[in-house]
Amino acid sequence: MTTVPRVTTDMTSPLLARRLANAGAASILFYNQPLELVRGQGAWLEAADGTLYLDAYNNVPSVGHCHPKVVAAIAEQTAKLAIHSRYLHEIVESYLERLKASFPSDLANIVLCCTASEANDLAMRIAMRATGRRGFIITENAYHGSTLATIDISPALWKRGSPLAYVRLVPPPSRRAYGDDITGGFTAAVAQAAAALEADGLGLAAFICDSIFSSDGVLTDPPGFLGPVVETVRAAGGLYIADEVQSGFGRTGAGMWGFQRHGVQPDMVTMGKAMGNGYPVAGLAVRPELLSQLCEDIVYFNTYAGNPVAAAAGLAVLDVIEQEKLIDNAAHQGAVLLAGIRDIVAGNPLISEVRGAGFFIGVEFAGVGAPARVKAIVEGLRQRRVLIGTTGRYGESLKIRPPLCFSDKEVAIFLEAFAEALAEVTAAPDGPGTGPVHD
Amino acid sequence: MTTVPRVTTDMTSPLLARRLANAGAASILFYNQPLELVRGQGAWLEAADGTLYLDAYNNVPSVGHCHPKVVAAIAEQTAKLAIHSRYLHEIVESYLERLKASFPSDLANIVLCCTASEANDLAMRIAMRATGRRGFIITENAYHGSTLATIDISPALWKRGSPLAYVRLVPPPSRRAYGDDITGGFTAAVAQAAAALEADGLGLAAFICDSIFSSDGVLTDPPGFLGPVVETVRAAGGLYIADEVQSGFGRTGAGMWGFQRHGVQPDMVTMGKAMGNGYPVAGLAVRPELLSQLCEDIVYFNTYAGNPVAAAAGLAVLDVIEQEKLIDNAAHQGAVLLAGIRDIVAGNPLISEVRGAGFFIGVEFAGVGAPARVKAIVEGLRQRRVLIGTTGRYGESLKIRPPLCFSDKEVAIFLEAFAEALAEVTAAPDGPGTGPVHD
């Protein structure tokens, strides 16, 4: 998210000019020449000029763009009834029960929202209410949402300024930050931040993290490193909120939720993005007593959330994940993809580390030229009709995150294009050009 | 919103029991015996037992439940492409341009969100950034959203506690609060609150109000009363945010937006609910320089917002409003409905005032028995297969708010049922029973 400045080039596209006129400073676009897309199917996107792009980036259409079962579920329910949840509807309860079955049994309540920003915002309020404390610990380039409160805990969105007193940033669980002892170093950093919050009279309400640390660079290893961190958080009186917006719904190939790779049990889980494969739906799984405490103070209601169309979309996504064995596919093809990338970069001095779990891979570049090289790779892949993104605090890593239906053929196409794009950047005498590159 | 406690009765319904088990303390339901609905068409809703209900309450499916043109637009675009707005898509720009054409020309940027909570939350941040001030003035039973920040300005949701220092409550623009001089009284109250914020060193960032004061009881008259209020707000250095979530998209019958009835020009307009007729879409219209200031500090991006399906749904809604002349219908049939209600309640000592604009009508009951009588009317109408709601700080008013397609036949059905339900409550010797009644 650090790497999404607004486009200032290519004012020659009429559609781009319209966007800039319509959305102004909130125009956030990918690429030097933003893509105009018109159709999606599986892992493929079609541009207005007829070009097909292989999508190895977008994580919302996680079971594949325009999956026919999800499309049909949305169309059918939209034609029958779309209404808020102050009346009862069977499909909503069926969906909540399917979701609940995927969580540890003590997370027995689900609150549906429309966006993960809302889910994380609600989790913050619940954590402060339940603990009577105010402080939050997050990672240095965390991204948890775009509401007033969640922007406070999303340094990836900050262009300037410092964290507010109630928010403490810790370096993310990376080799760069902690060397070989990621678990020990990260746990100690969280303990220190908790102590600082306590000393300042704020106390620790919650530690919240994306279970795969997507915006921090995709930080996956060693699995289990969150175990001692969560113990430390609980010892300090805080709650642990697992943000599964990026890592949930089978993305890591190791179960439905990213926290499962770490063998930990959250107090709350927030989810979104892949949840409706494009239909806006998000949610919070929570221990009932925490929710009850909040609801002593306020009525929580969300007009669009929990409508039967959202539930129909969400149920179809869960069905497709099961029926098409997409978690297995993410594990198996993700491993092939990761191994292929590792083969290609082996011995390349530009690259410092390749990390991944399932279909979520980060490729970190070394040195001060890293962000420019990363951008050049992204543009180079786009020229080869493959879409990926960037991540990390300085945009120093590639973010590779195809839909869970990515096939062996698509893995092969990706690897061929990646090898070419990397070779081109590696061969450039002084790295890529210094012109503005946006993604 | 004060009148939406969770249901504590009728645990005999298996579906209700499932809801309470799944959503816990966040189970917000209407009626003693919550309705299970399965289908909607136009102004009609079908329950699971086959009963048809006339919907004179729900304002999200504003052009009619499951309007075939909106359903088709959603189905078609969902099958083609549903993706975030970091790529370009023609339909998104067309939608933004159609929306912009409905606003004063200086509100030249539109930011799409998924929920009106997000839109109001964003408006708060923009107002604080632009003014360098912190304070907000709201009405006593305002409702502006369910994020951490917007709950602060939504006393309708508070079960206990007091406003934070940066939030000042003023009595709503009602005869009950200000007698015959609603304009003068309300303006003076806002001026006093602004002065208090200034004296406390917070200053006034913005005055925000629902242009029809829905949760304060539906306060419509005299049209124009917001004029001097907005002047006062500007004189105090604050911005005026028009919350059009309730009053927008033709609801008042006097143009597309509720603020038009008052001849005022907002600095920002927030919208939602009716915007997608059930598809989750919301937005903010804003002066570009205000948005630019915010975007110097942060990246604002919203994953699901501005996707082509949201735009397709929104465009279809605008088309239907135009093609079916729904604003005229709201004006004309709304006036018939209002006159009919006034005839029925004429001389009834239980009722203190009937207010309305277009298809948004409030019927206020007098005295300490008002909330119980209002609830009894709502239940009595439900028994007669007509759905309405309650509003006002104490739940002292009926909220009557049919879809904009409500026909003369449906107005007649409503009035007949309303007359019966009112007669029943009026005839009750000591008012309705005192058992728990929830809506």
The pLDDT of residue B437 is 34
Q: From residue A258, give the alpha-carbon distance in Å to each of A127, A254, A287, A326, B42.
A: 21, 7, 19, 15, 43
E-assigned strand segments in B187-265: 204-210, 239-243
Q: How many residues does chain B have?
A: 439
Contacts of A159 in chain B (CB under 8 A): 295-299
Q: How far apart are CA A248 and CA A421, in angstroms?
A: 30
Confidence check: pLDDT of A138 > 60: yes
Element containing residue A24 per DSSP (H, E): none
Region A373-389: mean pLDDT is 98
Closest-CA distance, A47 to chain B, in angstroms, reads: 10
pLDDT digits (tens, 9 = 90+) for A298-310: 999 999 999 999 9
> Within a domain: residue B248?
yes
Cβ distance B65 to A83 less than 8 Å, yes or no, reads yes
Mean pLDDT within B268-289? 98
The minimal CB distance from B115 to the residues A18, A96, A118 is found for A118
Question: In this predicted structure, what is the pLDDT of residue A438?
Answer: 33
CB contact under 8 A, B78 and A71: yes
Question: Given an 8 Å threshold on Cβ–Cβ distance, is B66 in contact with A81?
Answer: yes
B65 with A81: Cβ contact below 8 A: yes
Clarify whether residues B124 and B161 are in a common domain.
Answer: yes
Residue B6 or residue B299, greater confidence: B299
Same domain, B37 and B73: no
**pLDDT score of B1 more than 90:** no
* DSSP assignment string, A224-280: TTHHHHHHHHHHTT-EEEEE-TTTTTTTTSSSSSGGGGGT---SEEEE-GGGGBTB-
Mean predicted lDDT score pLDDT of chain A: 94
Q: Which residues contact B238 (CB under 8 A, 6 or more apart)?
A: B127, B131, B133, B135, B137, B194, B203, B204, B205, B206, B207
Q: How many folded domains does chain A comprise?
A: 2
Q: What is the mean pLDDT of residues A222-242?
A: 98
Cα–Cα distances in Å, from B84 out to A2, A191, A284, A302?
17, 37, 22, 22
Taken in order A56, A401, A78, B65, is the CA torsion positive or negative? negative
* Last residue in a domain, options A259, A294, A323: A323
Q: List B135's β-bridge partners, or say none.
A: B204
Task: Compare all CA atoms of chain B with the CA of A101 and give the residue at the minimum distance.
Answer: B22
Of A80, A110, A303, the CB nearest to B66: A80
Residues 6+ apart with CB under 8 A from A320: A63, A67, A69, A70, A326
Residue B165 and residue B311 share a domain: yes
Half-sphere exposure at residue B86, Cβ-oriented, CA atoms within 13 angstroms: 24
User: Cα dihedral sign for A217, A221, A224, A226?
Assistant: negative
Nearest to B148 among A146, A147, A301 (CB): A147
How close B386 comes to chain A (CA, Å)? 14
CATH number at residue A102: 3.40.640.10
Task: State the amino acid at position A49 in one-letter form.
Answer: D
Distance CA B364, CA B352 (A): 6
Burial A229-264 (b: 16+ CB within 10 A, else e): bbebbeebebbbbbbbbbbbbbbbbbebbbbbbbeb
The last residue of one of the domains, among B283, B303, B323, is B323
Could you tell me if A264 and A330 lie in one domain? no
Q: Is residue B7 part of a domain?
A: no
Amino acid identity of A134?
Answer: R
Assess whether pLDDT exceeds 70 at residue A120: yes
Q: How far is B87 from chain A, CA to nearest CA, in Å?
A: 5
pLDDT tens string B325-383? 999 999 999 999 999 999 999 999 999 999 999 999 999 999 999 999 999 999 999 99
If you average pLDDT over residues A175-204, what whole number do you get?
Answer: 98
In this structure, the answer to whether residues B227 and B340 fall within a common structural domain is no
pLDDT of residue A397: 98
Tell me what the pLDDT averaged over chain B comes to. Answer: 94
pLDDT tens digits, residue range B201-255? 999 999 999 999 999 999 999 999 999 999 999 999 999 999 999 999 999 999 9
Between A53 and B428, the more confident residue is: A53
pLDDT in tens, A332-368: 999 999 999 999 999 999 999 999 999 999 999 999 9
Give the distance from residue A435's alpha carbon to the nearest chain B alpha carbon, in angstroms: 20
pLDDT tens-digit series, residues B14-62 = 999 999 999 999 999 999 899 999 999 999 999 999 999 999 999 999 9
Q: Taking Cα atoms as reference points, which of B116, B330, B156 lies closest to residue B243?
A: B116
Q: Examine the domain organization and report whether B245 and B362 are in the same domain.
A: no
Cβ separation of B39 and A81 shorter than 8 Å?
A: yes
For residues A334 and B92, what is the distance between their CA atoms, to the nearest angstrom?
34
Q: Give the residue from chain A lying closest to B28, CA to CA.
A: A86
Give the orientation angle of helix B408-427 with respect to helix B370-383, to 10 degrees: 130
Tell me how far apart the alpha carbons of residues B52 and A205 are, in angstroms, rounded to a whole number: 48
Q: Nearest to residue A236, comparing CAs of A270, A285, A199?
A: A199
- pLDDT at residue A1 above 50? no
Residue B116 lies in a domain: yes
Task: Say if residue A62's pLDDT is above 50.
Answer: yes
Asked whether A57 and A413 are in contact (CB, 8 A), the reply is no
Short-list B218, B217, B265, CA closest to B241: B265
Q: What is the CATH number of the domain that holds A34?
A: 3.90.1150.10
Share of chain A above pLDDT 70, in %: 95
Residue of chain B minimizing CA distance to A30 = B86
My answer on whether omega of the bond before A222 falls inside 30° of 0, hence cis, is: yes
Answer yes or no: do A75 and B79 touch at CB < 8 A.
Answer: yes
pLDDT for res B438? 33
Distance from CA of B56 to the nearest CA of A (A): 14
Q: In the predicted model, what is the mean pLDDT of residues B175-199?
A: 98
Query: What's the pLDDT tens digit per position in A125-135?
Result: 999 999 999 99
Residue range(s) defining the domain that contains residue A39: 14-63+325-427
pLDDT over 90 percentage in chain A: 94
Same domain membership, residue A202 and residue A102: yes
Whether B87 is covered by a domain: the verdict is yes
B115-140: pLDDT as tens digits:
999 999 999 999 999 999 999 999 99
A4 domain-assigned: no
Q: Is the pTM of this model over 0.90?
A: yes
Give the pLDDT confidence score for residue A430 in this predicted structure.
Answer: 61
Residue B234 belongs to a domain: yes
Co-location of B56 and B72 in the same domain? no
Q: Is residue A184 part of a domain?
A: yes
The torsion of the CA quartet A377, A380, A384, A386, rounded to 10 degrees, works out to: 40
Closest partner residue to B81 (CB to CB) among A38, A74, A93 is A38
DSSP secondary structure code for residue A393 in this structure = T
Looking at the structure, tell me whether residues A173 and A302 fall in a common domain: yes
Within this chain, do residues A20 and A101 fall inside the same structural domain, yes or no?
no
Residue of B13, B291, B303 to mutate, testing the A interface (most A Cβ within 10 Å of its Cβ): B303
Structure confidence at residue A108 (pLDDT): 98
pLDDT digits (tens, 9 = 90+) for B99-113: 999 999 999 999 999
Helices marked H in B299-407: 308-323, 326-345, 370-383
The token duo for A36 is 């105009």
Of A293, A323, A353, which one is at a domain's C-terminal end?
A323
Tell me the percentage of chain B whose pLDDT exceeds 90.
93
A24 and A131: one domain?
no
Question: Would the CB atoms of B86 and A158 count as touching at under 8 Å?
Answer: no
Burial of B56 (0-12, 13-18, 19+ CB in 10 A): buried
DSSP state of B260: G
The pLDDT value recorded for residue A431 is 53
Q: Cα-flanking dihedrals φ and ψ of residue A62, to 5°?
A: -75, -30
B315, B420: one domain: no
Task: Give the DSSP H or E segment for A139.
Answer: strand A135-139
Rounded to an integer, what is the distance from CA A148 to the centroid of its chain? 19
Omega prior to B222 cis, within 30 of 0: yes
A291-305, B196-210, B420-434: which has the minimum mean pLDDT?
Answer: B420-434
Burial A99-116, CB ≥16 within 10 A → b, else e: bbebbbeebbbbbbbbbb
For residue A279, pLDDT beyond 80: yes
* Residue B433 maps to a domain: no
